[in-house]
Structure formats: structure tokens, C-alpha cells
Amino acid sequence: MSKHFFSDLGVMLGRSMRHIFRSMDTIITVTIVPIMMMLLFVYVYGGAIKTSLGTNVNYVNYMLPGVLLMSIASGITYTAVRLFYDVQGGIFERFHSMPITRSSMLWGHVLTSLVSNAISVVVIILVAFLIGFRPSAGGLSWLAVAGILALFTLALTWVAVIPGLTAKSADGATAFAYPIIFLPFISSAFSSTATMPSAVRAFAENQPTSPIIETVRSLLNSEPVGNDIWISLAWCLGILIVAYVFAMLIYKRKAA
């Protein structure tokens, strides 16, 4: 790692964050859709779904973790788009001619994704409080939730880097995210998996978002997390490592 890595990273992060704050519609778009989805499920479908969960369940508490994951999955698409335009616009080639650490360009986009998604998550949680979200989590549990969501964001952002570097069009750069955005629908995010057909239930209980949702839900409601937290960490770290390796290989090939 270059001795100037962190100073170079600061410059690249500042550049990406200026793009974000000059175009706040990206954060607004990423935030509004999950909020509308949350309101829809709480006020339209929530009454029917609660019958399968029990009358004592606070449905906003129950479904909020799935909404947060959907928001993050939607937010990382903008990382892919911004990278795509940097590649297509020749910005990377200009940076390569400068005496800067090359990997700092990617990390600038990745850290920008962490910051922008964190803003979206905070806004969604504040809206959830307004419509009845009442967690019993303490400070350490909230820190654990923040850590898991940050790790999930980091893992998906490195996945987004790959199409951002390789896509032939902006639509192609974002297409990868649609299956990820809809994964929470086939999980325990909005209803119990016990009500699902056996084949769907098997998928729902063994796909990446389910243990993350269960972990966040348990932490927010001061319930035992069991093995879900370890499964969540294994999924996030596994995706992160694989995506990072492939992204760096592709980037080095392009920079050669």
C-alpha cells in the first residue's frame, strides 16, 4: 500500500461525496421507495399478515430490517452507475497518469456508498419511529446493527464495482441489483416462512438476506440472535472477499 494511500483516498472520497451532495435526488430516490414500501406493508397488508405472526407482534418492528436491506441493495446501484460513467468518460485514464494510489479511486466510490446508504438508513429508521417503530435495543445492540448493515453495504458495494467496471451501458451496470433488491421478498422480511410452500420456504430460509434480517430484528428487539449472527457474518464476509478479489483483478486488467 502506498504511503499516500489515505491522503489519496481522502481526495477521491471528497470528489465522490461532492457528486452525491450536488445530486441529492439519488439519496432521495433510494430512500423514498423503501419508505413507500414500508407504508404500504404497514397500512395496507400489515393487518392481514399480522394474523400469521400473532396479535402481539409490532409489525413495524418486524418488517423494518427487510426494508433497510432493500434500501441498501437499491443504493449500491448508484455506485455501479458512477463507476460506469467514470470509466466511459475517461476519468480513470486521467487519474492513472497522475501520481496517486490507483486503488484509492475504487475505495473512494466504495466509502461514498457507505456514507450515502447510512444516510438513507437513518432517514428510514426515523420515519419508522413516526409510524410506530419501538425497539428495545440498548447501545451495544444498536452498534451491532450498524456494524452488520455496514458490512452488508460494503459487501454489496464491491459486487456493484464489478458491473460498474465491465458494463457496456448504464442499464447494464444497474441490472445486477434487481434480484438482490427482491431477495427480501422471498425471506422472513415481511411474513413468517412457515406460511410458504416447502420449496419456497427452503430457499427463503437459506438465502443470504434471511439470517441478516433475523439478526437485525433480534438485536433491535433485545432477543437472542442464536446462530443467525454467525451465518450473517459468514455470508457478508464471503461475498465481500470474493467480490473484492474479482473487482481488483478486473480493475488491474483495465489499468494495465
Residues spanned by the domain of 193: 5-255
Give yes or no for residue 236 having a pLDDT over 60. Answer: yes
How many folded domains does the chain comprise? 1
Q: How far apart are CA 232 and CA 190, in angstroms?
A: 18
The string of pLDDT tens digits covering residues 212-235 is 999 999 999 989 998 999 999 999
What pLDDT, on a 0 to 100 scale, did the predictor assign at position 1?
47
Sign (positive/negative) of CA torsion 94, 27, 125, 122?
Answer: positive
Q: How far apart are CA 248 and CA 143, in angstroms?
A: 30
Per-residue confidence at 246, pLDDT binned at 50, 70, 90? very high
The number of beta carbons lying within 10 Å of the beta carbon of residue 209 is: 25
- Mean pLDDT confidence for 120-146: 92
